[in-house]
Each structure stands twice: as structure tokens, then as C-alpha cells.
Amino acid sequence: MGRLFTAKVYRVPRGRWVIFPELCKGCGLCIETCPEDVLHWSKDLGAYGTPTVEVNGAGCIACRTCADHCPDCAIDVDRATARAGIRTQGTDRAPRG
Ligand code: SF4
Ligand code: SF4
């Protein structure tokens, strides 16, 4: 049985942006690749005791660039839920692989 990781979910104009702090290693790739420059370091600590990231939700265009570049699958961006309704707490996921 796979382990579940707790998600922090942010509402963004086109859906939701999700970080799994326990998977984040603080490499900063997501911050460097975001075309809107809306990611920054969080006060939360990740897998190695380094800061995780959070989003300035108002500026996020839900392009998924950050999720696609994260080497640890610590980010998910869900555009579909903008139409289906957004749940803001209690989302868990199992690790990929
Ligand atoms: S989905 Fe796009 S705009 Fe939003 S934080 Fe990620 S890279 Fe930036
Ligand atoms: S790319 Fe992934 S592991 Fe690296 S800082 Fe961003 S969320 Fe954390």
C-alpha cells in the first residue's frame, strides 16, 4: 500500500494549484521556470528541512509549467476543477511510481 501525502491547496483563477510539502526538496526549479513569477519560498519545510514553495494565486495562469518541471512531483495543477468545483482542504495523494 502506498503512502499518502498531505496537500496544501490554493485556489487560482483557472483551477487549483497544489503543493505536497513532504515531497518538496527545495530545489527552486519551479520558481525559476514559472512564466508569471508567482511562486516564492514558503515558511513550511519540506522533505530535507528546506523551505517549500507557495503560489500567489491571483497571478497563476494554471499553465502547469511548474508541475512539469518539478523532479519530485511535489506540485499538481488542476484546471478541470475550475468547472467542477474546488475542494480546498483534505486532499491526499499517493506517490507516483
Ligand atoms: S501553473 Fe504556471 S503560472 Fe501557475 S505557478 Fe505554475 S508555472 Fe506559474
Ligand atoms: S521544483 Fe518541486 S522539489 Fe523543487 S522547489 Fe519546486 S516544488 Fe520543491
Sequence spans of domains, the chain = 25-83
* d(C-alpha 30, C-alpha 88), whole Å: 22
| Residue for grid cell 490554493 | 10
Residue 5 CA to ligand 1 centre (angstroms): 21
Exposed / middle / buried, residue 52 (Cβ in 10 Å: 0-12, 13-18, 19+): buried
Residue 94 CA to ligand 1 centre (angstroms): 22
CATH 1.10.10.10 matches 25-83 = no
What would the pLDDT profile of 11-48 be if each residue is shown by its tens digit? 999 999 999 999 999 999 999 999 999 999 999 999 89
Q: What are φ and ψ of residue 41, in 5° steps?
A: -70, 145
pLDDT at 81: 52
Pocket of ligand 1, candidates 14, 38, 53: which has the most ligand atoms within 8 Å of its Cβ, to mutate? 38
What would the pLDDT profile of 52-88 be if each residue is shown by its tens digit? 999 998 999 999 999 999 999 999 999 975 455 444 4
